[in-house]
Amino acid sequence: MWNWMMLGLESNRVIGLRIAKLMRGGKAAQREAHRMVSEKMLAAAKASTSLMAGASGDKIVEQYRRKVAANAKRLSRKRSRKRKSR
């Protein structure tokens, strides 16, 4: 039960980080949108395969939490912006 609640909280943070990135627009936002969709499709396929192989719901949630944690880490990194010299 704990894993399920934590997945909800952690996912909420990633959603906020992604929305902020998408709102900034540009190529980075486009890449993030494509990445988000492809990640969801791959995660659903992996979860389905794992369930068919007999994995428990808790095991599936653990897999999702690892991906969510990686996304949170990636999205919360501060990027240094290169400025053009004049």
Across all residues in the chain, what is the average pLDDT? 90
CA distance 17 to 72: 8
Model confidence pLDDT, tens digit, residues 10-48: 999 999 999 999 999 999 999 999 999 999 999 999 999
Which pLDDT band holds residue 79 (cuts at 50, 70, 90)? low
Which pair of structure tokens corresponds to residue 55?
Answer: 């994995």
For tokens 């991906």, what's the residue?
Answer: 67
